[in-house]
Amino acid sequence: MAEPTESSTDEYDVIICGTDLIQSILSSALSRAGKKVLHCDGNEWYGGFDAVLYTGSTLDCFIEGCQDAAAAAAVRKSVSGFNKDYTESDADDGELELLPREKYADLRLHSQTFLPCDEQHTVHLPPAKESHELFENKEVESARIKEDTDLLADAPEQSTTTQHKDVSDQCILDGNFSLDISPDLIYASGDAVQGLVKSGVADYLEFKSLKGLHLLMGKDDTKKQRHTTRGSKNTESNESTSTSADDTFISYRVPCSKGDVFRSQLLSPVDKRRLMKFLQLISDYGLAQDEAGSNNDAETVDEETAPADDTLQTKEHPETVAAESASEDAMYSINERYLNKGRSLSRPQNKAKPSTSELDSLIRCIRDNVDFSDYLINVAKLPPRLCSVVIHALALAPFGRSQLDHAYTAMNGVNDLLRHVSALGRFGDTAFLIPMYGSGELSQAFCRSGAVYGSTYMLRRAPLSISLTVDGDGNSTVKSVTLSGEEHIGGFADVHTDDTSKKDVGCSHVIVPSTMLPRKLLACTSIRLRIYRRISILKGSLMSQQDNQDSEDTEQRYAVVIPPATHGLNNASAVHGIILDDSAFVAPARKGYTVLHLTTSVLESGECSVDTCLDILSKSAQLVLDSQCSNEDRAKECHHISFSYSIDIVKPSDAQPIASGLHICYRDTQSITCDYAFREAKRIFEQICPEADFLALAKKVEDSIVYKNNNDSDDERMVLSNALDMIQDGVGGVLKPVETVADDVVGSVQGELANAMLDESISAEEENIVEVQKTDKIVE
């Protein structure tokens, strides 16, 4: 693989722009399928918007990059005319220009306290707003990026409250943090786990279980509900307590499994019954679907092959058909067969056959595209409060009833629920796994495995434009991608940057994220959503041990959901929080820091201003703190950063593709899991390689793994032989204790095996890595 040069006639099968998770999965999958892949990213680091940034190194670059963006854009404008209107400038040779690096997804930094801002930058920054000053520390509201398109331009001028001398008063971070731009969890069973295991990429990563999923809700109406169910004799005494409706928020553990429902303080007994009935109905539906799927694969299109975004509905609903054709046997055999799969929702063995009529009505609603919340209220007869729990805490939908242009249908809701419910009881107490060292590790791991299979990686080389050829009928086809010369974004001055010339690299497919394309191209087929994120570094433990008997265990690995339209927040979408500490290796060990990620989103076309959203996030941070901490050992925020970026959501439409060979990948709506990336990657993979197996292992690697699994050390036989030998020798005396013998045998066998495996994989990797190194763009 020679280094592509300007004059090179080198053709790649696929050029992938950006190393976000979707693209990284794709580069691994495509190179496995034998495609020649060039993967480029303008950043210094892997991961794009899924990257994990490190304080003191890449985070600083990120922040400086954002701060420089406005200035840089201006420079570019004069130099290369980049900021001209993004259109297909020249119809003849079909040049599709991509957004310059700092404009991808319209990333904006709103505030941060990691870097002291210097004079130069503050000049063109609007002053910080007082309302953001939340906690005791003096925030340095420094960088607020001013761009020509900046909404902030209209924001009223505020009095300057922050002074530069405060920089010295900040708490100094003692240690490095790994901060995800998009923190993601993964479902303990589902598309992501399937992909990670099948591809062998899981070997590069480590995971821990999420300890709890919590729902932050007002206290008032739960109490009322609980007491109405009490016996008539005690009503008088309880009334006094139920009247105190106040605004205090309580974080409840989200009741997902049978055990959760049983323990939950959130639900009255009657609600428990209703929720359990509903959850079992959903899992029945899932089972019936599985059953139908395995009976006749041909006519079933299950979730994996369905469009990645559930909003991409086809006219038919294959799943519905499948569920209806599910044999009654499936319903009969549910109890026995699935008992071993975790006892999260399965019925007791003695339970009679479940009724099929409720399942029928669910299937009918799915077929009729009923709105999910309508279904919950009118058909499943859940009380409103429970509906909110189901939609936001169980299905984890960020929006409630149809707040986007598209509806949240019963089918979307049930699929989301099924993903959650079917991942329960696999590992730990929740349905989620946390990638250690930050979820940005995922894209790095996939890039690494892509390199093993022969992909070429180029960092610091941003794709600038895509060239198209246009035939006589006006159909355009992808011809090549122009890459920028090597550049770097702050820091890392020691990196060699001798190759500064632009390059044109030929290819037959290009994969590009929607957010890299000029907005105009996608305006009619997608909805633009803006994701707001605030990352806070807290000193102290955030979540208290309310439902864990083991008081020693103070590890912080939680997720929090604040439903939309929460009183006092008026948030348009749910606020999702992920809370991690050094147990997930995102904070320095034993220093007592907790990292809180808060995310919310708004429609870009909507009314919500930037300030409103930032306000929602800072209030949410306050709420999360208040709901957990007693006053004495309260966690304190010492640093934060807030930024926002845009994503596109595909609207169902039958618009023509822009060019053949051009594949646009879309991020999911606001979500706390990254399972969508695997579905989206698979969708695009199947367009490029319709026949091939997604993320398949190479034969060589597969063989060595089968070898690993098959070799069961037969210690039983060894013990027996040992005993026989003993009799033959007539030695009645001292022998090695049995267990040690067995252990020794097992140990040595495993040791050998491990060595063999290690040799295998190293040699396989070395080959390819050496090759990649030649191209001088090496994966760290």
* CA 728/CA 717 separation, integer angstroms: 16
- In the numeric block, the tokens 């044999």 are attached to 327
Is 348 near other proteins (CB under 8 A)? yes
One-letter amino acid at 178 equals S
Contact 108, 643 (CB under 8 A): yes
Q: Which is nearer to other proteins, 278 or 676 (CB)?
A: 278
Distances (CA, A) of 176 to 164, 173, 318, 438: 24, 8, 49, 13
Q: Least distance in Å: CB of 340 to other proteins?
A: 6
Applying CB under 8 A, which part among 377-385, 575-583, 615-623, 679-687 lies near other proteins? 377-385
Distances (CA, A) of 562 to 213, 349, 583, 668: 11, 37, 24, 19
Q: Least distance in Å: CB of 389 to other proteins?
A: 15
Q: Which is nearer to other proteins, 197 or 339 (CB)?
A: 339
Q: Least distance in Å: CB of 721 to other proteins?
A: 6
Q: What interhelical angle do 191-199 and 21-32 show, nearest 10? A: 40
Instruction: State how beta strands 636-650 and 526-539 pair.
Output: antiparallel
Among 91, 245, 565, 724, binds other proteins (CB under 8 A): 724
Across 57-211, where does the E strand assignment appear?
95-97, 108-112, 178-180, 186-187, 207-209
Q: Least distance in Å: CB of 228 to other proteins?
A: 10
Among 56, 116, 175, 269, binds other proteins (CB under 8 A): 269
Among 261, 445, 559, 610, binds other proteins (CB under 8 A): 261
Q: Least distance in Å: CB of 271 to other proteins?
A: 8
Is 380 near other proteins (CB under 8 A)? yes
For the chain, the 3-state helix, strand and coil shares in percent, each to the nearest 5, are: 40, 20, 45
Q: Least distance in Å: CB of 744 to other proteins?
A: 14
Measured over the CA atoms of residue 524, residue 526, residue 527 and residue 531, the dihedral's sign is: negative
Q: Which is nearer to other proteins, 138 or 347 (CB)?
A: 347
Among 164, 353, 502, 591, binds other proteins (CB under 8 A): 353
**129 CB burial (10 A radius; 0-12, 13-18, 19+):** buried
Among 325, 356, 477, 609, binds other proteins (CB under 8 A): 356
Q: Least distance in Å: CB of 289 to other proteins?
A: 19
Applying CB under 8 A, which part among 134-142, 336-344, 388-396, 491-499 lies near other proteins? 336-344
Q: Which is nearer to other proteins, 698 or 706 (CB)?
A: 706
- In the numeric block, the tokens 């990292």 are attached to 595
Among 11, 299, 626, 714, binds other proteins (CB under 8 A): 714
- In the numeric block, the tokens 């990284």 are attached to 24
Using CB under 8 A as the binding rule, the residues of this chain from 534 to 553 that contact other proteins are: 549
Contact 541, 596 (CB under 8 A): no
Is 270 near other proteins (CB under 8 A)? yes
Which residue, among 187, 194, 191, has the nearest Cα to 210 in the 3D structure?
A: 187
Calculate the CA 73 to chain-centre distance.
30
Among 84, 124, 351, 567, binds other proteins (CB under 8 A): 351
Is 209 near other proteins (CB under 8 A)? no
Is 604 near other proteins (CB under 8 A)? no
- Torsion angle in degrees (nearest 10) through CA of 118, 124, 129, 132: -50
Q: Least distance in Å: CB of 140 to other proteins?
A: 46
Q: Which is nearer to other proteins, 270 or 692 (CB)?
A: 270
Contact 409, 309 (CB under 8 A): no
* CA 140/CA 137 separation, integer angstroms: 9
Is 742 near other proteins (CB under 8 A)? yes
Instruction: State how beta strands 575-581 and 249-253 pair.
Output: unpaired
Is 709 near other proteins (CB under 8 A)? no
One-letter amino acid at 470 equals V
Contact 373, 384 (CB under 8 A): no
Q: Which is nearer to other proteins, 269 or 657 (CB)?
A: 269
Q: How many residues of this chain bind other proteins (CB under 8 A)? A: 56
Among 197, 726, 754, 758, binds other proteins (CB under 8 A): 726
Applying CB under 8 A, which part among 2-10, 209-217, 509-517, 709-717 lies near other proteins? 709-717
Is 350 near other proteins (CB under 8 A)? yes
Instruction: State how beta strands 11-17 and 503-513 pair.
Output: parallel
Is 68 near other proteins (CB under 8 A)? no
Contact 116, 30 (CB under 8 A): no
Q: Least distance in Å: CB of 148 to other proteins?
A: 55
* CA 410/CA 362 separation, integer angstroms: 8
Q: Which is nearer to other proteins, 714 or 776 (CB)?
A: 714
Contact 7, 780 (CB under 8 A): no
Q: Least distance in Å: CB of 746 to other proteins?
A: 13
Applying CB under 8 A, which part among 378-386, 500-508, 574-582, 611-619 lies near other proteins? 378-386
Among 232, 240, 551, 630, binds other proteins (CB under 8 A): 232
Q: Which is nearer to other proteins, 519 or 708 (CB)?
A: 708
Among 80, 87, 333, 721, binds other proteins (CB under 8 A): 721
Is 358 near other proteins (CB under 8 A)? yes
Across 540-623, where does the E strand assignment appear?
557-562, 575-581, 593-603
* CA 402/CA 415 separation, integer angstroms: 16
Among 77, 198, 227, 343, binds other proteins (CB under 8 A): 343
Applying CB under 8 A, which part among 133-141, 148-156, 407-415, 726-734 lies near other proteins? 726-734
Contact 51, 43 (CB under 8 A): yes
Is 164 near other proteins (CB under 8 A)? no
* CA 290/CA 735 separation, integer angstroms: 54
Among 110, 121, 144, 258, binds other proteins (CB under 8 A): 258
**Which tokens belong to 220?**
């008032």
Is 329 near other proteins (CB under 8 A)? no
Applying CB under 8 A, which part among 3-11, 333-341, 478-486, 553-561 lies near other proteins? 333-341
Helix (H) / strand (E) containing 722: helix 715-729
Is 91 near other proteins (CB under 8 A)? no
Q: Least distance in Å: CB of 26 to other proteins?
A: 38
Q: Least distance in Å: CB of 737 to other proteins?
A: 8
Long-range contacts of 118-122 (CB under 8 A, 24+ apart): 121/67, 122/164
Is 120 near other proteins (CB under 8 A)? no
**Which tokens belong to 508?**
């037959």
Q: Which is nearer to other proteins, 156 or 737 (CB)?
A: 737
Q: What is the DSSP letter of 493?
A: T
Among 706, 738, 754, 778, binds other proteins (CB under 8 A): 738
Among 160, 327, 355, 755, binds other proteins (CB under 8 A): 355
Among 2, 172, 298, 727, binds other proteins (CB under 8 A): 727
User: Which residues are CB-contacts of 489 (< 8 A; sequence separation ≥ 6)?
Assistant: 43, 44, 61, 64, 65, 68, 101
Contact 575, 591 (CB under 8 A): no
Is 719 near other proteins (CB under 8 A)? yes
* CA 103/CA 80 separation, integer angstroms: 15
Secondary structure class of 122 (helix, strand, coil)? helix
Q: Which residues bind other proteins (CB under 8 A)?
A: 229-234, 258-259, 261-263, 269-270, 272-274, 276-277, 336-337, 339-340, 343, 347-348, 350-353, 355-358, 360-361, 379-381, 549, 714, 716-717, 719-724, 726-727, 732-733, 735, 738-739, 742
